[in-house]
Structures are given as structure tokens and as C-alpha cells.
Amino acid sequence: MAEVVDLLAVFPDLEPAANAIENLRSIGVHDDCMNIISGIPVTEAMLGRPNAWSNVPRIAVGGSILGFGVGYFLAFVAPYLYPYPIQVGTQAYVPGPPSVVVLFEMTMLGMLLSTFLGVFLDSYFPNYRPMKYVAEISDGKIAILVECSHVDEKKITDTLKKSGAESVNPAEAQHL
């Protein structure tokens, strides 16, 4: 098996980084082998990359279903658990409008909590492992981490330099 190329290229701005990604694709580096490291929020569309896949929407739907179940229990089951029925005027034993409010609020609470938990878990936070990082990223620069085994290291380095990389160095994992 070929040795894995592990390079970290630092770019001064977004445009040269996007051009470098296109140039890396043209020499045969797949999107799976590239990782963008930035101190500012950068969307996939800004760099011409495919959308990232996330479990957060599925987790949010699961949380909303669970919240709806809790709301249903509180609105429709809990009144029947009292030993003595509480009748208020001529209202039904389980009134409609307050039940809708309880269902809505518990559904939204379940979705909110599960979304927070999903984002927390999906971002691998906290992470105590050493990570590949350079200090220039904190100063507003953008880095491309290339981890590829099927393309020659010299070819990747030359492509990154021609695309406007300030530096191309072997990536080292360090504690942040």
C-alpha cells in the first residue's frame, strides 16, 4: 500500500483556497481526502465543495417525536391518573386549547434539546486528541489539510504552491 501524504497548506484568503481545491481535484485528489481548517465560518458552497452530511436533522426529528409523546402524556394521560377527577365548570375533562399549547411546547422543547445535543455530539466536542493545526489559522488564514495515498506528494505540493499557498508543510498533530 502507498504511503499516505499528509500535507497542510496555508492560504491568505478564500479565493486561492477555492482555486487550490479545484486544482487538487484536477490531479485526482478526492473531496474525502481534503479538509478545510478555518477560523471563520466558511460554507461548502463558498469553496465549491459538496454539502457536508450531518445527523443533526434526524436527531432533531427524534427529539420532537419524543417531546410530542411527553406532551401527549401530560395533556391526555396525566388527568386520568388523579385519584379524584377535577372538574372545572363545564369544561371537558381534558380541555382542547390548553392541550394544544402543552403539545406544541413539549414538541419544541424536545426538538431544541435534541438539536443542541446533536450539534454537541456531531462536532466531537470536547476533543482531547492531538489535532492537525497551525497558528496562522487563528489570524484569519485558511488551511487545506490533504491526507491522500493515491497521489504523489510532490505533485500535490507543486499544485498547492502554484495555487497561491503561503506554505506547504507536513501536518503534525499537536495538542491544542
**Confidence band, pLDDT 50/70/90 cuts, at residue 175:** low
> Which structural domain, as residue segments, surrounds residue 99?
56-122
**Residues 60 and 117 occupy one common structural domain:** yes
**Does pTM top 0.75 for this prediction?**
no
In terms of pLDDT, which residue wins out, 162 or 127? 162
Mean pLDDT of 32-50: 82
| 34, 144 Cβ separation under 8 angstroms | yes
- Cell numbers describing residue 53: 452530511
In terms of pLDDT, which residue wins out, 174 or 40? 40
User: Looking at residue 61, what is its pLDDT?
Assistant: 97
Whole-angstrom distance, CA of residue 19 vs CA of residue 142: 13
For residue 156, what is the domain's CATH number?
3.30.70
In terms of pLDDT, which residue wins out, 174 or 158? 158
User: Looking at residue 126, what is its pLDDT?
Assistant: 72
The residues that bridge with 142 in the sheet, in sequence order, are 11, 38
Q: Which residues are CB-contacts of 39 (< 8 A; sequence separation ≥ 6)?
A: 137, 138, 139, 140, 141
User: Looking at residue 176, what is its pLDDT?
Assistant: 61
**Residues 98 and 145 occupy one common structural domain:** no
**Residues 44 and 66 occupy one common structural domain:** no
Mean pLDDT of the chain: 86
**Residues 109 and 84 occupy one common structural domain:** yes
Mean pLDDT of 106-131: 87
**Residues 77 and 96 occupy one common structural domain:** yes
Question: Does the structure show a pLDDT above 50 at 30?
Answer: yes
User: Looking at residue 105, what is its pLDDT?
Assistant: 97
* Cβ atoms within 10 Å, residue 49: 16
Question: Does the structure show a pLDDT above 80 at 128?
Answer: no
Q: Residue for cell digits 452530511?
A: 53
Count of the separate structural domains present in the chain: 2
Question: Does the structure show a pLDDT above 70 at 120?
Answer: yes
CA distance readout (Å), 2 to 5, 7, 153, 159, 169 = 9, 15, 11, 20, 19
**Residues 42 and 89 occupy one common structural domain:** no
- Cell numbers describing residue 137: 489559522
**Residues 67 and 115 occupy one common structural domain:** yes
Q: Which residues are CB-contacts of 55 (< 8 A; sequence separation ≥ 6)?
A: 118, 122
Whole-angstrom distance, CA of residue 161 vs CA of residue 154: 11
Mean pLDDT of 109-129: 87
User: Looking at residue 112, what is its pLDDT?
Assistant: 98
Q: Residue for cell digits 489539510?
A: 145
Mean pLDDT of 129-152: 81
